[in-house]
Structures are given as C-alpha cells and as structure tokens.
C-alpha cells in the first residue's frame, strides 16, 4: 500500500550524507525503473506533533549541497508497506529533497 504524507506540519533536516542504493546481490547501483537514473538513500531527522525520529528516504538522483543539519523540504513523500517472508515494514520515497529557502539564504 502506498500512502502519501502531508509534510506541511513536519520539519526535516539532513542526518548524514546521502548514499547510493545498491543491489543486495550484485552491489551495483540500483536505477529507477521509470527514469533509469540512480537511486539514493537520504537520511533525515524528522520532527512534528511532539515527536521526532530519523528515517531513510529513497530519491532519484543525489540531493546536492545538503550538509548535516541542513533544514530540507521533502516533496512528494510517500510511505509504502512491504512484506518479505515473515518480515515487514515501511519504506519512504520522495520526488525530491531540497534545502529550504531559509537554509539557502543563511
């Protein structure tokens, strides 16, 4: 199931540098099926509604010039549930991740 997330009341910040998503077996970079561009894992701090956490968000292409603690805007964030055998969880994917206007002018 894919669930779009309204990010207006959530604050995001970069937790660490993005890394390429690699195929588990071949260790080759994974490519987005629609664009044939490389996928990256972006590690983000998330805060909202009195709680905070860190999440990993897959995005097409490497987010540029985002240092640790840079406030970011996550566009088109979607949560997807997954099941593999007896394991299950939630993964996140976004259209793009960009520095907020506030961070860009600071």
Quick: pLDDT tens for 10-56: 999 999 999 999 998 999 999 999 999 999 999 999 999 899 999 99
The confidence score (pLDDT) of residue 65 equals 76
Provide, rounded to the nearest whole percent, the portion of the chain with pLDDT above 90.
Answer: 85
**Inter-CA distances, 79 with 50, 65, 89, Å:** 20, 25, 10
**Which pLDDT value is given to residue 102?**
61
How far, in Å, CA of 66 to CA of 25, rounded? 29
Which is nearest to 56 in space by CA: 35, 34, 80, 36? 80
Mean pLDDT of 78-96: 95
**Tokens representing 32?**
């987005």
> Helix or strand or coil: residue 38?
strand
Domains, the chain, ordered by start: 2-105 (2.40.50.140)
Q: Which pLDDT value is given to residue 45? A: 97
Question: Look-up: residue for tokens 């983000």?
Answer: 44
The residue count of the chain comes to 106
């Amino acid at each position: 199931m894919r669930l779009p997330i309204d990010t207006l009341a959530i604050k995001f910040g970069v937790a660490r540098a993005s890394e390429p998503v690699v195929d588990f077996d071949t260790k080759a970079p994974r490519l987005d099926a629609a664009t044939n561009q490389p996928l990256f894992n972006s590690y983000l701090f998330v805060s909202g509604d009195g709680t905070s956490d860190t999440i990993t968000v897959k995005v097409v292409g490497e987010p540029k010039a985002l240092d640790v603690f840079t406030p970011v805007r996550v566009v088109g964030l979607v949560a997807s549930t997954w099941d593999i055998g007896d394991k299950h969880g939630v993964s996140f994917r976004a259209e793009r991740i960009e520095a907020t206007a506030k961070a860009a002018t600071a």
